[in-house]
Structure 1
């Protein structure tokens, strides 16, 4: 059951500000075999993980020639955002910086500053609330400002978490509907809705991190804001499929993937592969995998779902279809620019701010609450939050 808005502290929108530019912020990924280990060292810096352990993950990238799809996807997203901003007459150039690979956040900040921009609005390629999907980006932005010596000269704000924005959710609705039809067709003419199960998949995180996700005074259930947000969005998708003239109702569940770290540390479960095996044992004949936690088809999607989870389903004799991520779907791109317009003013008289949200949990905060999504390793400076 989704948690209601009453479980959250008051959410007052920020007044609109005149920004100079948009900063697209992402994770980054290697673009060749020689990049793989240095990239993984960046991702795991400070944890003392030896290269032989990193090689266990490196083979995912090496399977694709050492190239993560994420950078090309961000180039395409940057171009799409630029086109939509231009279409609306918004004079906001789009800079792009990554946490873990070139182009780095520090490079993007230097470029924006050199061009005369002093007030940036960040769009992060992560829709949900948790340490790794929100606060860590905010910390790395603060660290990049410090590294470049621009802390006193450049202000970086951030659009709200957009897990339940129509622009993010819409592509999953249409994609899930199409994938259910594909699986039913593969099963055959005797297939019915009871033969198909929808698995909404997202990145697993340590349970202690999940509990700490969201504002510290919020009561959002055993998995914190991270779990509550995903479940709420899954409910919206399934409710949309169950309405209208082409309504279809099938069972669904939330599953997790891409677990890493010590096997002794509890992480969110069930794993997508375990869930597929359990469904097969119950007589389910087909599964639809919805990468609900992801903005684009990066490595956790193309390897963990398209390779591993799909193979698990095929080995179990199940029909399977994976739903596309939003990527550069026009609905998603339009939604991201809508989020920019919620915060940006051109200096002309502004109309009322429309902040759409499809779940009772939204619209989420424009500015993160103090202590939100706490760093499990201790407090670090972060931008775009209350002190």
Structure 2
């Protein structure tokens, strides 16, 4: 083996007992208020634990089956950490590692973590995938999830659903420092929206799952968006969490548990939620396309 792929995601815990340590990682060592720990624990227990790493592993296996070179998965903020997975790849013979963040936007954050870990291996080349939110197969996969969510609705009623394309919010200070996340997400969302608007559907962009820090966060949030849709005459809403490529707490709790109540409070009648991409074949097509471009660019 000389070339391998390292998929990286945010990461999550498999045991609720690890939530305090996980939150400390997210908060970069700042003390976590006990009430925040209790709330996050409640959310994990309510959904039966996060499937994020199980889904990520399935994505990795599916991609490996397509490209014929080793694919390993890692978490940026929890086990299996990037540094440990990279070490395993290098010990297995990898001399070129393609870093593919499982987030189409702000890939520089994940690629930087991989390069930092790779500093211990001067003879290993890291190829960081560029932002890939405009990958055609990715847009197709999002449309598939939306169509599947609408499938139980009578055909003549589907165009009446407003579609909210959501992503995780970020503190405004991060964007003010130059992070391209908002621009990149809106560009990707625009490609999805164009496909839906061609069918006569109303679309909106929203940013969900704002953190607990007492600072300004990127919006509009979901309650605001739902209220604006209702004021504009909408009755029914479908949330497509296209900012997430795998179901986890932000979809299974923030949308499936809290979402219907938020929509009802805004006066909307029906609430639907598109599933995340998980390991659907069209999404794996997108990952394969990104990796094959990187493989083709490897010298020699």
Quote the residue 1:78 is aligned against: 60
- Structure 1 residues 346, 234: CA separation in 2 closer, same or farther (over 3 Å shift)? closer
Determine the C-alpha separation between the residues in 2 that align with 1:106 and 1:145: 8
Q: Deviations over 1:37-74 (max 9, x none)?
A: 22222222233333443333232112234x21101101
What secondary structure sits across from 1:304 in the alignment?
coil
- Structure 1 residues 199, 99: CA separation in 2 closer, same or farther (over 3 Å shift)? same
Q: What residue ranges of structure 2 are gaps of 5+ in the alignment?
A: none
Quote the residue 1:12 is aligned against: none
Q: Deviations over 1:312-346 (max 9, x none)?
A: 22454521211122211111112211111111149
Instruction: Give the aligned CA root-mean-square deviation in angstroms.
Output: 2.6
Aligned partner (choices 236, 245, 253) of residue 295 of structure 1: 245
Aligned partner (choices 55, 62, 75) of residue 98 of structure 1: 75
Answer yes or no: is the 8 Å Cα contact 1:280–1:318 preserved in 2.
no
Q: How many residues align?
A: 299
- Structure 1 residues 284, 173: CA separation in 2 closer, same or farther (over 3 Å shift)? same
Answer yes or no: is the 8 Å Cα contact 2:58–2:279 preserved in 1.
yes
Determine the C-alpha separation between the residues in 2 that align with 1:279 and 1:345: 46
Determine the C-alpha separation between the residues in 1 that align with 2:66 and 2:92: 21
Larger radius of gyration: 1
Matched, 1:34 2:17: yes
The alpha carbon displacement at 1:227 in A equals 2.6
Aligned partner (choices 161, 170, 192) of residue 131 of structure 2: 161
Higher helix share: 2
Greater relative contact order (Cα < 8 A, sep 6+): 1
The alpha carbon displacement at 1:144 in A equals 2.7
- Structure 1 residues 47, 332: CA separation in 2 closer, same or farther (over 3 Å shift)? same
- Structure 1 residues 192, 83: CA separation in 2 closer, same or farther (over 3 Å shift)? closer
| Runs of 4+ off more than 6 Å | 346-349
- Structure 1 residues 206, 347: CA separation in 2 closer, same or farther (over 3 Å shift)? closer
Matched, 1:259 2:214: no
Matched, 1:170 2:170: no
Determine the C-alpha separation between the residues in 2 that align with 1:124 and 1:302: 22
Q: Deviations over 1:280-299 (max 9, x none)?
A: 34442100101121111121
The alpha carbon displacement at 1:348 in A equals 10
Answer yes or no: is the 8 Å Cα contact 1:69–1:297 preserved in 2.
yes
Quote the residue 1:206 is aligned against: 171
TM-score (norm 2): 0.89
Answer yes or no: is the 8 Å Cα contact 2:8–2:82 preserved in 1.
yes
Answer yes or no: is the 8 Å Cα contact 1:183–1:287 preserved in 2.
no
The alpha carbon displacement at 1:154 in A equals 2.6
Quote the residue 1:126 is aligned against: 103
Determine the C-alpha separation between the residues in 2 that align with 1:320 and 1:347: 47
Q: What residue ranges of structure 1 are gaps of 5+ in the alignment?
A: 1-17, 87-91, 215-224, 350-387
Determine the C-alpha separation between the residues in 2 that align with 1:142 and 1:240: 37
